[in-house]
Structure 1
Amino acid sequence: MTSSEITGTAQHAAWQARELPPVEEVRPGLWSIPVPIPHNPLRYVSVHAFALEGGGLGLVDCGWEHEAGWTALTDGLTGIGAGIADVRGVLITHLHFDHLGLAGRVREASGAWIAMHPADGDVVRQMSGRDGAAAVATQVGFLVGLGADRETAVSDVGDPARWESFHRMATPDRDLLDGDVADFPGWSLRAVHTPGHTAGHLCFDEERTGVFLSGDHVLPRISPNISTNPGGEADPLRDYLAALAAVGQRPEPAEVLPAHEWRFTGLTARTDALRAHHEGRLAELLTAVREHPGSTPWDLAGHLTWSRPWSSYERGMRVFAVTETDAHLRLLASRGAVVGTAGPVPRFTAA
């Protein structure tokens, strides 16, 4: 098994310098265009632009909807001798705002179609036009159900106005299922369904060049957030680990093009490392349950190791940490390692 190695050296150098990386032609007719994400440690999403046979461009992901992001995307396209009007189609790896946010604006400016997996497309349709206050109430109720006190949950979820933009994202024109080949003439871009980060997450295997666009499913440095959500999948971490194992069994691609951080090789080695990371996390959580029996997911999150002191976590960071802890608890429960009490707020003990 080969190890995982950095190939996106300019991307990596820019990351270390805390700068936006350059636009790069990573294969003839295939470019990566960094689009910044405001106030986010991920910093940017790599939009991948494909020159299509017969003219025009296809995009994989679009970036976060804000003016700096739009400027970065349009300037990036100008730098490769194209423009927004040249976009014919947009493939979305998953529904998160840093991937789907600008898609509606791209479609409005170009007439391009938007395609994504129906498991995510249906969620976007359900969210479309939803009132921000209703979304906040749902999120607050979900966190209270994980053990938060209501006042803290309200503070962490934030103002309803903050949620409005998430409910104005573009709904897809086309569904894309596992194994489908995208309508990008001149390329053989096959969809690979990899649920976990979201229920409809897609990677794309470009069979002509051997590159693998991994979205957020496999990143070179960090593990993507795997969380529970109101009305979401019952056991998202089980789904994610199964998808990781399946991707790790595929023939090694020539290069992996993730949506964040930098390009790399050694997909199998990286999927093995991510699976090992989660098994270690599950073991740590099981120890916490044994040491603090009868604890809620909210309580147990505070007994785990994080990248910074737990006391400094608040708002979105704390929400992601708690819902990620809940995802790990659900997998432990499905494995029979822990038992949760019935009732509005589960409390866990070791089996």
Structure 2
Amino acid sequence: MENDAKADGTAADTLPYALAEPVAPLVRRVLARNPSPFTYTGTQTYIVGAGSEVAVIDPGPAEPEHLDAIVAAIGDARLVAICCTHTHRDHSPAATPLKARTGAPIIGCAALTLTDTGPRADASFDATYSPDRVLGDGEALTGEGWTLTAIETPGHTSNHLCFAIEETGALFTGDHVMGWSTSVVSPPDGDMTDYLRSLERLYERKQDTVYLPAHGPLVDRPHRLVRGMIGHRRSRERQIQRQIEEGRTRIPEMVARMYKGLDERLFPAAQRSVLAHLIDLERRALVERFGEDWHLREA
């Protein structure tokens, strides 16, 4: 994830790894021990349901400690679905071994494996992910006391889904919206045009009262955050245009100027997001490229 605040996460010995914690009505969280500059404190796996049937959202990395903690959190309940918001390797690899241990089907986003020769900064795609059922936009899963509805939100990845609990107003936002940073949008699969369109779609969903992201704290004022995120992205594209006006026509030059103080480990992610903005601006006939150089397009 692109992170303007340079967060590495809290010290590992103070965090509740491998424990199921209630975080919202019908929802418990199990935090995976995979903190990094891109995952914050780690991937948050969610257990949905308080009765005899539960679902798991974003099972996370296939680490034995994390898998054991998920199974312990499920307890005597029946796991009816293993759901993934997308297939980056910090989100979906545990789906296959969790299915093997529980017999539950993998239901959610489509499979996607992409080979990218560019400097990807986000986690690569999970080649082991094999869903039993792909959910389309608006399709629902049900269990005792809960209903999960899939919301298509491409942008961070082309196969990204959010999941809404219809009974409570909670929305699981994966990597599309996070409370601790902005999400990296990395071409060729990441698409800024789609990402902004998906943000607008979530902003229009007034029934969502809290966001539960895959990384970082819950978001209790979601529409204000999404409005700010849209404004941030529009401000960033204007900043990119100013960089070009001032003669910085290559992405590394722009990033060095625009992201002063950013953790150097996150520079590749910032470069990918700037590229995504430039591709969006190019589609709108506002800039054009000549090799590695970008120029404003004359009216």
TM range (shorter): 0.7 to 0.9
Alignment equivalent of 1:305, drawn from 237, 259, 268? 259
Structure 2 CA distance for aligned equivalents of residues 81 and 87 of structure 1? 7
Q: 1:306 to 1:199 in 2, by over 3 A?
A: farther
Q: 1:225 to 1:174 in 2, by over 3 A?
A: same
For 1:92, the aligned partner's letter is C
Structure 2 CA distance for aligned equivalents of residues 210 and 193 of structure 1? 17
Q: Which residue is 1:179 aligned to? A: 138
Alpha-carbon offset, residue 184 of structure 1: 3.6
Alpha-carbon offset, residue 262 of structure 1: 0.9
Q: Which residue is 1:130 aligned to? A: none
Unpaired stretches in structure 1, ≥5 consecutive residues? 1-14, 128-134, 144-155
Q: Tell whether the 8 Å contact from 2:163 to 2:172 is kept in structure 1 after alignment.
A: yes
Superposed, which structure 2 residues align to 1:90-169 within 5 Å?
Answer: 90-118=82-110, 121=111, 123-124=112-113, 135=115, 138-139=116-117, 142=118, 168-169=127-128
Q: Which residue is 1:207 aligned to? A: 166
Residues 26-51 of structure 1 deviation map (CA, whole Å, 9 limit, x = unaligned) = 34542111112154451211111123
Aligned-pair identity (%)? 24
Q: Which residue is 2:80 aligned to? A: 88
Q: Tell whether the 8 Å contact from 1:189 to 1:206 is kept in structure 2 after alignment.
A: yes
SS in 1 for 2:43: strand
Structure 1 CA distance for aligned equivalents of residues 167 and 126 of structure 2? 37
Structure 2 CA distance for aligned equivalents of residues 40 and 348 of structure 1? 29
Alpha-carbon offset, residue 346 of structure 1: 4.0
Q: Tell whether the 8 Å contact from 1:63 to 1:100 is kept in structure 2 after alignment.
A: yes
Superposed, which structure 2 residues align to 1:217-232 within 5 Å?
Answer: 217-229=176-188, 232=189
TM-score with structure 1 setting the length: 0.72
Structure 2 CA distance for aligned equivalents of residues 247 and 75 of structure 1? 31
SS in 2 for 1:327: helix
Q: Which residue is 2:148 aligned to? A: 189
Superposed, which structure 2 residues align to 1:1-351 within 5 Å?
Answer: 19-21=14-16, 23-41=20-38, 42-51=40-49, 55-66=52-63, 70-75=64-69, 77-78=71-72, 80=73, 82=75, 86-118=78-110, 121=111, 123-124=112-113, 135=115, 138-139=116-117, 142=118, 168-229=127-188, 232=189, 236-292=191-247, 295-308=249-262, 312-313=264-265, 317-341=266-290, 345-351=291-297
Structure 1 CA distance for aligned equivalents of residues 75 and 26 of structure 2? 12
Q: 1:307 to 1:228 in 2, by over 3 A?
A: farther
**Aligned Cα root-mean-square deviation (Å):** 2.7
Alpha-carbon offset, residue 52 of structure 1: 7.0
Q: Tell whether the 8 Å contact from 1:56 to 1:86 is kept in structure 2 after alignment.
A: yes
SS in 2 for 1:107: helix
Query: Aligned residues, how many?
Result: 284
Structure 2 CA distance for aligned equivalents of residues 86 and 189 of structure 1? 16
Larger proportion of helix:
1
Alpha-carbon offset, residue 296 of structure 1: 3.4
Structure 1 CA distance for aligned equivalents of residues 150 and 143 of structure 2? 12
Q: Tell whether the 8 Å contact from 1:196 to 1:240 is kept in structure 2 after alignment.
A: yes
Structure 1 CA distance for aligned equivalents of residues 260 and 137 of structure 2? 34
For 1:211, the aligned partner's letter is A
For 1:207, the aligned partner's letter is E
Structure 2 CA distance for aligned equivalents of residues 271 and 322 of structure 1? 22
Alpha-carbon offset, residue 92 of structure 1: 0.4
Unpaired stretches in structure 2, ≥5 consecutive residues? 1-8
TM-score with structure 2 setting the length: 0.84
Q: Tell whether the 8 Å contact from 1:252 to 1:268 is kept in structure 2 after alignment.
A: no
Residues 230-259 of structure 1 deviation map (CA, whole Å, 9 limit, x = unaligned) = xx36xx111111111111111142322111
Structure 1 CA distance for aligned equivalents of residues 151 and 11 of structure 2? 33
SS in 2 for 1:182: strand
Q: 1:242 to 1:29 in 2, by over 3 A?
A: closer
Q: 1:81 to 1:286 in 2, by over 3 A?
A: closer
